[in-house]
Amino acid sequence: MSQRLVDEVKACTICEDLPLGPKPIFQFGKNARVLIAGQAPGQITHGHGRPFDDASGVRLRQWLGVDEEAFYDPQQFAILPMGFCYPGKGKSGDLPPRPVCAQTWQHRLLKELADLELVVVIGHYALQWHLGVKKSQAITPVVKDWRKYQKIEVKSAKNIDNGIEKAVNYFPLPHPSPRNNIWLKKNPWFEQSLLPELQEKIATILNR
C-alpha cells in the first residue's frame, strides 16, 4: 500500500493553477520513526526537488543534531509538510499552504507510519493540524511549553483528528528560516533548553 500511495501523491495535480505548477515535495518511508511536519516547500526547495534543501534545512539539521545522510533516509525521517507544493509568493513572504493538500493526503499517509515515535512540528500551520493550536495563538508560548506535548495519548481528540493512531512525542518548533534570527536572539532558552532535549531524543531513537 505505502509505495502505491507515495506514487499517487507524487502524481498529484489537484492544484494545477500554482504559479510554478504542481510538484509535490515530501519524503516518506513506512518505517520512519521521526516525522518532520512543516509548512510548504519554498522556491529554492521547489527548484531542487528535495525537502528542506535550502538554508532553513541546514539550520533544521543542526537543531536536530543529524547530518544529511540520516535526514534524507526515508526509513528514519518522514517529511510531510502541510502543503506538498510551492504555494507562490505573497505580500510578506510565501503564501500559506493550500488546505486541500492536507485534507487530501495527510490522514492517509500518517496512518501508514506504524513505527512513529516523534513528531517535530514546525510553524503555525503544522501546529494547528497536529496540536490543535489556534490560528490566533502566538507561537512563542507554544514552543516554550514544549514539555506539555510529550506523549500525547492516542485517545486524545487531536491525535485522532490528525491521523496519527498512537501515542507519540511532539516537539513544537519555530521555522528554521534565517528570517527568525531575531526570534532566536530574543529567546535563548530555545537553544539552551529545548534543543538539547530534542537532540537527545532523536539520537536515542536513531541509535536504537
Least confident of 75-79, 80-84, 158-162: 158-162
Q: Report pLDDT digits (tens) over 86-113.
A: 999 988 788 999 999 999 999 999 999 9
The residue ranking higher by pLDDT, 14 or 91, is 14
Split into its structural domains, the chain has a count of 1
Whether residue 133 has pLDDT greater than 50? yes
Q: Report pLDDT digits (tens) over 154-172.
A: 445 455 567 887 788 999 9
Q: How confident is the model at residue 188 (pLDDT cuts 50, 70, 90)?
A: very high
Whichever domain contains 131, its CATH number is 3.40.470.10
Domain containing 6: what range? 2-206
Cell of 37: 511536519
Q: What is the pLDDT of residue 156?
A: 52
